[in-house]
Chain A
């Protein structure tokens, strides 16, 4: 339990973090974003835009100058991140040590694992378009690799991305490739659920034979339950409330909602 005094800062031009879709208005928010999403900053922290933000908006000119010096000497971005966070005094020494360990674990990954972890991050923030490009690049790179488990995971995630943007046929193809590598029943379940979502799709014979009647019944039940859960979701409740408003307020709220959806959809690209 503690209280921290915030630095007085007058941020006029916030720093936009694309991955998170948020504007950063203070050093505390910047530290928070870095600490919780280091993957989004690991390759970008040595950018001039970051240095400019630290110097001009956060008013930390001396730190920015020191960081620029370190960039010239090819200092690792994680060291720059730590330098910034230490100066902001938002996280304790113990928390920064934990952060250092997290970042070190990322750096210990193979290039492909690192690329996958980064792409997984994009999925977390619904940037499916970029994630698909990322996964495809990994698969291309890993073409000659024999690590079925890893490649299976990538195909599985790629399938999930396609499904999220309603490209069900492509999703099915990706899941099929994932199943070939991983032989995981869960992937088969996803393929089955795709056929429920898109009646034009069919499970190929070789997969259909693997699904017992009992499994099919269980998956149907799960699918129905998911549908019920979605019908009672907060978003739908809000939508219902919106339609109960008078016409002027409804039009205004609907406009805002559509704008929000558009923003979300564009960010998926």
Chain B
């Protein structure tokens, strides 16, 4: 084995890990516990047990802790969210490392409900501690995991629209929908996530009246979401759907004229399919994938090349926002602004954004050279920075710069 390829579904409630090598799934609560008077860390059920017996101090909701840059004090020592996450991930990875007798991790892809910049930074900083090269650790959204999971199934499963209900241990009910748009220049797959306002604690399904109420809530959501649409398939995932006995009415509704599949580790599996794909030279998914965590618009700029007007692509729809962006030097000829063309998947939704270079020197004869840096804060917010580069020894830089955030 030349290294492990791992997919990890990281949530505040539970974490699931799948290895590419075989269909083995590890599921454990996302908690970490430090034993009293010992430098020993425990995770999952063992952490719960130690905390219950008073042998250690436990910290839960690790994802939230990282995202709000929080800390936890254990035995008088203050630990940052990143340190605790690193301890947790180390122990989780140890399960696969032990099972397959190898320390080398070829690729680790983590799927979280949302691609958060702080979480991404934390995970990449954890990489060193985990003994994995930084560029081999990445983060995708649950929506993207769903997309790769579905695209890895037989084509008949994703001919039309695909729905997914996720009833997680975090007591959240989410609905995902995916559709494949053919006939465009490149087949485009679009997936969206909607967090339902209607949610309930999983504890209520343990009692018959509670289960009935929960079933009713689900039916109401499904009725609204699935009506007048043709679905190739509907998937169910999450702790709440491990046992479907309590949701009879809901099951009747979704199964009518539709194929319904249950997959408890859907996000982890989606992540591992994508992780395996990233290790290949040629992708098995030659589609433009647009979803949470990825851009849904192209950002271009008109430039002159060999006397012809061309489009310079600054970012493309389907790119992950934290990896998208460009740094390029430009010469502005008799122009004191830059104009960005933002084209959504629907070409009718095209807009231009003009960035006036206030405070920049007025130079003629093609000597206004600027450095343009384009990046993204999330899939909807583009950051643009433009700096006067000067023109060699002819015109030193004035240091003028402009920064702006552009909503896509």
A residues with a Cβ closer than 8 A to B are 1-6, 8, 22-26, 28-29, 32-33, 36, 89-93
Going nearest first, the 3 A-B pairs with the smallest beta carbon separation are A22-B393, A6-B329, A2-B304
Q: Which residues of B contact A36 (CB under 8 A)?
A: 365
Residues of chain B at the chain A interface (Cβ within 8 Å)? 301-307, 312, 328-335, 338, 365-367, 369, 391-394
A4 and B331 within 8 A (CB): yes
> Shortest distance in angstroms between B215's beta carbon and chain A's nearest beta carbon?
59
- Please, how many angstroms separate the alpha-carbon atoms of A89 and B331 in the complex? 11
Additional 16 contacts, C-beta under 8 A, given A2-B334, A5-B328, A6-B328: A3-B335, A4-B366, A5-B305, A5-B312, A6-B329, A23-B393, A24-B392, A28-B331, A28-B369, A29-B393, A32-B365, A32-B394, A33-B394, A90-B331, A90-B366, A92-B304
Q: How far is the CA of A28 from the CA of B307 in the complex (A)?
A: 16
Query: How far is B366's CA from A32's CA once the two chains are assembled, in angstroms?
Result: 8
Partner of B331 from the list A3, A23, A24 (CB cut-off 8 Å) is A3
> Is A93 a contact of B369 with CB atoms below 8 Å?
no
B-chain residues with CB within 8 Å of residue A32 when the two chains form the complex: 365-367, 391, 394
B392: which of A1, A5, A25, A93 is its contact (CB, 8 Å)?
A: A25
Q: Provide the residues of chain A in CB contact with B392, threshold 8 Å.
A: 22-26, 29
Q: Which residues of B contact A91 (CB under 8 A)?
A: 366
Contact of B303 among A3, A26, A28, A92 (CB under 8 A): A3
A6 vs B366: C-alpha distance when bound (angstroms): 11
Residues of chain B contacted by A90 (CB below 8 angstroms): 331, 366
Q: When the two chains form their complex, are residues B393 and A3 in contact, meaning their CB atoms are under 8 A apart?
A: no
User: How distant is the Cα of A28 from the Cα of B391 in the complex, in angstroms?
Assistant: 9
Please indicate the chain A residues that have their CB under 8 angstroms from the CB of B393 in the complex. Answer: 22-25, 29
Contacts of B332 in A (CB 8 A): 3
- Distance in angstroms between the alpha carbons of A132 and B330 in the assembled complex: 41
**How far apart are the CA atoms of A22 and B367 in the complex, in Å?**
15
Min C-beta distance of B287 to chain A, whole Å? 28
- Which residues in A have their C-beta under 8 angstroms from that of B330? 3-6
Q: Which of B304, B312, B330, B393 has the most CB of A within 10 A?
A: B393
Query: Residue A1 contacts which of B305, B335, B394 (CB distance < 8 angstroms)?
Result: B335
Distance in Å: Cβ of A15 to nearest Cβ of chain B: 10
Determine if B369 and A3 form an interchain contact, defined as CB atoms under 8 angstroms apart. no
Which partner residue on chain B sits nearest A6 by CB separation?
B329
Contacts of B305 in A (CB 8 A): 4-5, 89
